[in-house]
């Protein structure tokens, strides 16, 4: 099957060939995989019901250079929003740039001049995210490791590595393939580290996932708990406006951001951007997953209608 061709096993790690992302082979992974399969099956059933009832799709969309697998958030969103995924770009009303790469030297051309999503989002390396964040928000996440004094974070430029580590600065010889950033105290109560995972669709934030992690997991993609929360409960109106400006600056029409709030100064920091967001988080119940996907689908349907009527 094509799905299995996208991964390989190296020791106790499952490696995504395209991105190099490493996923530990644990009983928890098998449990999460089953939850994903169950959710995908439920969405497939909803799609089948729509076909049986003869409902016409809201629009037809083609993805390039590859079609998303069912474990990516955009797939269930399209099914719920009534947007039919087609293979032939000539049959599509819209296009969607979809590729698990954080950097290209130039954007890929769309198959036609029809409306396209994420078409200009071709560089989301962490240094670019940090630079754009500073331009929009007016304060910096990046530090100079050779002059900065104190604790900082060193991590890979690439997405999906989850290899952040705390270091002491100054550093005599910084690694060329690493970025160096301010250490954010994103604890809620001094112990639980809070990641505000922020889906953005056409500059709007339908909700946020509040992810809680312990100190040992703060740089990993493993959560103690995940809650679906109204965006206004975690982000001010001004912050949401700035986030919309940020996504516009990097041409991210549909995707997710990792946002941290610094306990020391109260400010938010965007530390990562993802244009091929997976989801919903496996830690959520089936009912909450559907609530999240329906929220994203409503926002995406509105975005599709706006683009087609422009």
Number of domains composing the chain = 2
Q: Is residue 38 domain-resident?
A: yes
User: Residue 64 — φ and ψ, nearest 5°?
Assistant: -145, 150
Same domain, residue pair 248 and 149:
yes
On whether both 269 and 212 belong to a single domain, the answer is: yes
Are 284 and 291 a contacting pair, CB within 8 Å? no
* Per-residue confidence in pLDDT tens, the chain, 310 aa: 444 455 566 666 555 555 555 555 566 655 666 566 677 776 777 767 776 666 789 999 999 999 999 889 999 999 999 999 999 999 999 999 999 999 999 999 999 999 999 999 999 999 999 999 999 999 999 999 999 999 999 999 887 677 889 999 999 999 988 999 999 999 977 789 999 999 999 999 999 999 999 888 788 777 889 999 999 999 999 999 999 999 999 999 999 999 999 999 999 999 999 999 987 888 888 899 999 999 999 999 999 999 999 7
Same-domain status, 186 and 257: yes
Residue range of the domain that includes 178? 126-274
So what's the pLDDT on residue 3? Answer: 46
Q: What is the pLDDT of residue 217?
A: 78
Judge if 158 and 105 occupy the same domain.
no
Q: Are residues 137 and 247 in the same domain?
A: yes
What is the predicted pLDDT for the residue at 56?
84
Let me know the angle formed at the C-alpha of 249 by 245 and 252, rounded to the nearest 5 degrees: 90
Q: Are residues 187 and 150 in the same domain?
A: yes
In a domain, 296, yes or no: yes
Q: Cβ atoms within 10 A of the Cβ of 118, count?
A: 22
Residues 15 and 116 in one domain: yes
pLDDT of amino acid 33: 65
Whole-angstrom Cα distance, residue 237 to residue 243? Answer: 10
Q: What pLDDT was estimated at residue 66?
A: 94
In order, the DSSP letters of 203-216 are TB---EEEEEE-GG
Predicted TM-score (pTM) of this structure: 0.87
Question: pLDDT value at position 199?
Answer: 98
Looking at residue 29, its pLDDT comes to: 57
Element (H, E) at 263: none
| CB-based contacts of 302-309 (< 8 A; 24+ apart in sequence) | 302/202, 303/117, 303/201, 303/202, 303/253, 303/254, 304/58, 304/59, 304/61, 304/81, 304/83, 304/94, 305/58, 306/202, 307/94, 307/115, 307/117, 308/59, 308/93, 308/94, 308/115
The domain that holds 210 is classified in CATH as 3.30.470.20
**pLDDT at position 52:** 63
């Amino acid at each position: 099957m094509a799905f299995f061709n996208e991964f390989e096993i190296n020791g106790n790690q499952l490696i995504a060939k395209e991105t190099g992302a490493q996923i530990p082979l644990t009983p928890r992974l098998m449990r999460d995989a089953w939850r994903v399969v169950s959710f995908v099956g439920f969405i497939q059933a909803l799609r089948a019901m729509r076909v049986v009832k003869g409902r016409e799709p809201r629009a037809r969309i083609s993805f390039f250079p590859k079609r998303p697998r069912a474990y990516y958030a955009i797939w269930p969103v399209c099914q719920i929003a009534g947007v039919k995924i087609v293979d032939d770009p000539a049959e599509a009303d819209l296009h969607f740039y979809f590729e698990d790469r954080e950097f290209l030297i130039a954007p890929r051309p769309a198959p036609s001049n029809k409306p396209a999503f994420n078409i200009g989002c071709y560089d989301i390396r962490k240094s670019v995210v940090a630079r754009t964040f500073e331009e929009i928000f007016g304060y910096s996440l990046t530090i100079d490791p050779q002059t900065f004094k104190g604790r900082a974070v060193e991590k890979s430029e690439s997405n999906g590595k989850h290899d952040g580590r705390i270091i002491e600065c100054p550093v005599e010889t910084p690694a060329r393939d690493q970025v160096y950033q301010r250490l954010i105290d994103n604890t809620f109560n001094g112990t639980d580290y809070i990641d505000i995972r922020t889906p953005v669709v056409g500059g709007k934030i339908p909700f946020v996932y509040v992810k809680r992690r312990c100190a040992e997991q703060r740089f990993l993609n493993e959560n103690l708990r995940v809650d679906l929360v109204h965006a206004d409960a975690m982000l001010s109106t001004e912050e949401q406006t700035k986030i919309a400006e940020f996504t516009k600056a990097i041409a991210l029409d549909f995707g997710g951001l990792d946002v941290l709030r610094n306990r020391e100064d109260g400010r938010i920091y965007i530390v990562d951007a993802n244009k091929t967001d997976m989801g919903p988080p496996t830690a959520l119940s089936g009912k909450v997953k559907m609530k999240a996907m329906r929220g994203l689908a409503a926002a995406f349907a509105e975005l599709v209608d706006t683009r087609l009527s422009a």
